[in-house]
Chains A and B, each alone.
Chain A
Amino acid sequence: SSELTQDPAVSVALGQTVRITCQGDSLRSFSAAWYQQRPGQAPILVIYDKIIRPSGIPDRFSGSTSGNTASLTITAAQAEDEADYYCNSRDSSGDHIIFGGGTKLTVL
Chain B
Amino acid sequence: EVQLLESGGGLVQPGGSLRLSCAASGFTFRSHCLSWVRQVPGRGLEWVAVVYYDPTSTYYADSVKGRFTISRDNSKNILYLQMNSLSADDTAVYYCAKGLRPMDAREAYYFDSWGPGTLVSVSS
B47 & A99 in contact (Cβ 8 Å cutoff): yes
Interface residues on B, range: 20 to 34
Query: Count the A-B residue pairs with Cβ separation under 8 angstroms: how many?
Result: 59
Min CB distance B7 to A, Å, is 15
Given A89-B109, A97-B35, A97-B108, A42-B116 contact (CB < 8 Å): yes
Q: Is A31 at the interface (CB under 8 A from chain B)?
A: yes
Partner of A45, one of B44, B61, B110, B117: B110
Residues of B within 8 A of A88 (CB): 45, 47, 109, 111
A42 & B115 in contact (Cβ 8 Å cutoff): yes
B100 & A45 in contact (Cβ 8 Å cutoff): yes
The distance in angstroms between the C-alpha atoms of A54 and B110, with both chains bound, is: 11
The distance in angstroms between the C-alpha atoms of A100 and B35, with both chains bound, is: 17
Q: Is B81 at the interface (CB under 8 A from chain A)?
A: no
The distance in angstroms between the C-alpha atoms of A88 and B114, with both chains bound, is: 15
Given A88-B109, A89-B109, A42-B59 contact (CB < 8 Å): no
A99 & B111 in contact (Cβ 8 Å cutoff): no
Residues of A within 8 A of B112 (CB): 45, 48, 54
Q: Which of A67-108 contact B (CB under 8 A)?
A: 84, 86, 88-90, 95-102
List of 8 A-B pairs having minimum Cβ-Cβ separation, nearest first? A42-B114, A97-B47, A97-B109, A48-B110, A102-B44, A99-B45, A45-B112, A33-B110
Interface pairs (18), CB distance under 8 Å:
A33-B110, A33-B111, A42-B114, A42-B115, A44-B114, A45-B100, A45-B112, A48-B112, A49-B110, A84-B44, A88-B45, A96-B62, A98-B47, A99-B44, A99-B46, A100-B44, A101-B44, A102-B45
B positions within 8 Å CB-CB of A: 35, 37, 44-47, 50, 59, 61-62, 95, 100, 107-112, 114-117
